[in-house]
């Protein structure tokens, strides 16, 4: 009787195991330590500082019998008491890719941001100003917020997608975004055109943002230019940016990025910054980055609370490790 029970238990266990879906699991992580020296016209922002960031990424991927690829991504921000920074489910197949959860959407995916050529780009907030003025032509209304995103299957060089973020039970605060990239070859150069737009339905005025640009890669040199706009209550901003990057045969990556933004509704409010960077891979998974950022912010007639004129230079040294 005992042998019979063991046999039937083993058969049931094997049957149960065969019916379960097994996923490929990938675990990775990253860590950064930053030392910066700020030379600012505002004494409170003038000095040195250190900071660090740590992230753990866990990815589950399963391929179904019907040909669907199901993935779960969890990005844990280890600097915020283990809070989830990015958590989403994706379902991919011949129909395209559907992404559900707290992650970036279509505006971030397809917007053109030359600042991406610089590994340690500083945004306006990091450079001192508390104004809402733009510091890049990238996504202005995206982020790791619960949303639904759909990406069409690639059609030649065209990729496109849309996303929707619900504003909650009260309504009236939904955000829709869409965008596309088109890649082609011309004269030995790889060219990518990109456009993205997003609209948040405000109670009194919608918030609209857009990004349009082009990236050219030829002979190992990457060059990108872009223009962005942002319209909201008391905001009518236009931003222009350009960046260039090149990696030497010895692994030293050089990059530069410049941006200028101004608000037509606040006369005289302008922000400009130029970033210079050198990044070197010390060993597999270990690199060092030196970044110099010159910036200038003029408040003009802006009514932004706490925003004051400031200019200066921030020199930073970053040690980066990936696992």
On whether the CB atoms of residues 213 and 226 are closer than 8 A, the answer is yes
Pick the CATH number of 22-322 from 3.20.20.140, 2.70.98.40, 2.40.160.10, 3.40.50.720: 2.40.160.10
The two structure tokens encoding residue 50: 């250190």
Question: Can you give the pLDDT at residue 122?
Answer: 62
On whether the CB atoms of residues 259 and 268 are closer than 8 A, the answer is no
**Residues 81-94: what's their mean pLDDT?**
81
Antiparallel, parallel or unpaired: β 69-77 and 83-93: antiparallel
What is the secondary structure of 50-91 as a DSSP string? EEEEEEEEEEEEEE-TTS-EEEEEEEEETTTTTEEEEEEEEE
Domain ranges of the chain: 22-322
On whether the CB atoms of residues 73 and 102 are closer than 8 A, the answer is no
DSSP class of residue 152 equals P
Q: Which residues contact 212 (CB under 8 A, 6 or more apart)?
A: 112, 194, 195, 226, 227, 228
DSSP class of residue 5 equals H
d(CA 82, CA 198): 30
Stronger pLDDT, 78 or 6, i.e. the higher one: 78
Question: Can you give the pLDDT at residue 94?
Answer: 94
Task: For 118-151, give one letter per residue: b (16+ CB within 10 A) or e.
Answer: bbbbbebebbbbebbbbbbbbbbbbebeebebbb
Name the pTM for this structure. Answer: 0.83
What are phi and psi for residue 115, nearest 5 degrees? Answer: -65, -15
Using one digit for the tens of pLDDT, what is the confidence trace for 244-255? 999 999 889 999
Using one digit for the tens of pLDDT, what is the confidence trace for 142-192? 888 899 999 999 999 999 999 999 987 776 689 999 999 999 999 889 999
């Amino acid at each position: 009787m005992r042998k019979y029970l063991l046999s039937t238990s083993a058969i049931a266990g094997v049957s149960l195991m065969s019916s379960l879906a097994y996923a490929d699991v990938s675990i990775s992580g990253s860590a950064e330590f930053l030392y910066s020296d700020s030379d600012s016209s505002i004494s409170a922002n003038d000095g040195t500082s250190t900071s660090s960031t740590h992230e753990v990424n866990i990815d589950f991927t399963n391929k179904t019998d019907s040909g669907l690829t199901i993935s779960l991504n969890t990005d844990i921000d280890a600097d915020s008491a283990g809070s989830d920074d990015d958590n989403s489910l994706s379902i991919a197949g011949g129909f395209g890719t559907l992404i559900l959860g707290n992650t970036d959407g279509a505006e971030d995916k397809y917007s053109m941001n030359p600042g991406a050529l610089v590994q340690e780009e500083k945004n306006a907030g990091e450079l001192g100003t508390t104004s809402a003025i733009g510091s890049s032509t990238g996504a202005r209304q995206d982020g790791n917020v619960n949303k639904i995103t759909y990406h069409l299957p690639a059609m030649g060089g065209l990729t496109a997608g849309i996303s929707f973020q619900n504003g909650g039970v009260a309504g009236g605060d939904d955000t829709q975004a869409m965008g596309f990239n088109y890649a082609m070859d011309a004269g030995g150069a790889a060219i990518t055109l990109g456009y993205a737009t997003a609209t948040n339905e405000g109670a009194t005025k919608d918030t609209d943002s857009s990004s349009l640009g082009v990236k050219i890669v030829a002979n190992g040199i990457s060059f990108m230019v872009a223009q962005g706009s942002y319209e909201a209550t008391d905001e009518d901003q236009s931003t222009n940016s350009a960046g260039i990057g090149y990696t030497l045969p010895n692994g030293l990556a050089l990059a530069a990025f410049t941006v200028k933004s101004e608000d037509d509704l606040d006369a005289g409010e302008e922000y400009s910054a130029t970033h210079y960077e050198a990044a070197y891979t010390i060993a597999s998974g270990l690199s060092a980055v030196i970044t110099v950022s010159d910036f200038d912010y003029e408040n003009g007639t802006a009514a932004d609370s706490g925003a004051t004129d400031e200019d200066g230079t921030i020199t930073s040294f970053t040690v980066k490790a990936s696992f």
